[in-house]
Amino acid sequence: MKEIKNINSNNRYSRAFIFSFVLILAGAFCDYFSNSSGTLIPPAPYNIYILLSLVTFIVFLHLFYGNTRLIHWLSSVPVAISSIAAILLLVILMGFIPQSESSNTIINRLSLNDLKNSNILAINAFFILISLGLVTIKRLTPFSFKNIGFFMNHFGVWLVIAAAIFGSTDIVKLRLTAYEEGNPEWRAQNNIHIFELPIAIKLNDFGIEEYAPKLAFIDVHKGEIIEEYRSSIAPADSGSVHNISGWNITIEQMMQQSVRFSDKYVPFFSKGACASAYAKCISETDTVEGWISAGSYLHGSEYLQLDHCNALVLLKPEPARYYSEVKLFAQDGTTENRLIEVNKPVKFKGWNIYQLSYDETKGRWSDYSVFELVKDPWLPVVYIGLFMVLAGAVYLFSFANRKRL
């Protein structure tokens, strides 16, 4: 009898995993032969209608077909495990396959480079929503307090998955460019269209903090960094000493902001200033010293030639931090002065505003900032779902402790 039970159990798991695999193939088929990119799920309000229809369909299945073999199978443990495994597989693929435009046609056609917006994920998510929904409703009837924690856990997960799938088409990502000397900018764009926004950004000031510029050896004939000395690239701090290719290099003076004046560089804190350093280079046979400069958008760079092949250069400083001081406007007359920097977005009127880029040719003297504006109206639903999962776990823990006592 035990062997028969094990065989039946194995068959149930096999059928469940095969069905999940078929759903992945069905999603891949839809993506491959679809002329449009993205899922079959439309934006609001139609996605809400579809979600409400799905909920109605799940309740209908439970009320009128709850005792059938199909519904028992859909709400079984093998189906739950196989559907979760399919979703996890897709999440793992997102980590291994770059989620951006690919040179591989097959990857593009199958939407493997945009899985979060693919029909593969959408179809499997539909299946797990139906299965999870049936399991959740089943535990509600008959009602019992000990099932509250189970309901909150499962319904919370259901909400998170539903919001992630049905809300994906409502996420808005736009780029807005604001200039220091311009008016508040009310327009933003994606890759295709320009949109008038209910908010605006006025750039008051752009700032950047830079690391010390680095020294490097270049081949004067090719104008390229010599690979064998790339590991010797080091910050050109004042007073620092470096040994590269038999040359003992001392940085006697380094300035982050300077300009060429006659035969030397002097401190200069206005547009076009560049990093410069005075280097003294000594080898067994020669001594060379002079100024090197990273250059800027107004002034060219300078290098120090050490021999007929090698030259010492100062690389452009890398940004350590850059930020924008902005004034935000809303159509209702609200204004706020905020500081926006990389990885520290600002939230304003439902929009998350990220510092995206700037005029890299001008560096610290950039007169504009590029921001990414993101709006996700389904995010509160995700938070509610996560809160329910947490509350359900706390309830189950406390209920189990009460039962022991």
Per-residue pLDDT of the chain (405 residues; tens, 9 = 90+): 444 444 455 688 899 999 999 999 999 998 888 765 566 788 889 999 999 999 999 999 999 999 999 999 998 889 988 998 999 999 899 989 998 888 888 998 888 998 888 889 989 999 999 999 999 998 887 777 778 888 999 999 999 999 999 998 899 999 999 999 889 999 999 988 999 999 999 999 999 999 999 999 898 888 888 877 777 788 999 999 998 888 999 999 999 999 999 999 999 999 999 999 999 999 999 999 999 999 999 999 999 999 888 899 999 999 999 999 999 999 999 999 999 999 999 999 999 999 999 999 999 999 999 999 999 999 999 999 999 999 999 988 886 666 555
Contacts of residue 303, defined as CB under 8 A and 6 or more positions apart, other chains included, come to 218, 220, 292, 311, 312, 313, 314
Closest CA to 278 of 317, 249, 307, 300: 249
Contacts of residue 24, defined as CB under 8 A and 6 or more positions apart, other chains included, come to 86, 89, 90, 120, 124
Q: Which helix (H) or strand (E) holds 5?
A: helix 2-33
- The whole-angstrom separation of Cα 149 and Cα 397 is 9
Among all chains, which residue has been given the structure tokens 């709400």?
A: 75
On whether the CB atoms of residues 210 and 318 are closer than 8 A, the answer is yes
- The whole-angstrom separation of Cα 75 and Cα 56 is 17
Tokens of 128: 């797990």
Whether pTM exceeds 0.85: no
- The whole-angstrom separation of Cα 283 and Cα 288 is 9
Q: Which helix (H) or strand (E) holds 323?
A: strand 319-330
Tokens of 244: 């590269």
- Rg of the chain over CA atoms, in angstroms? 31
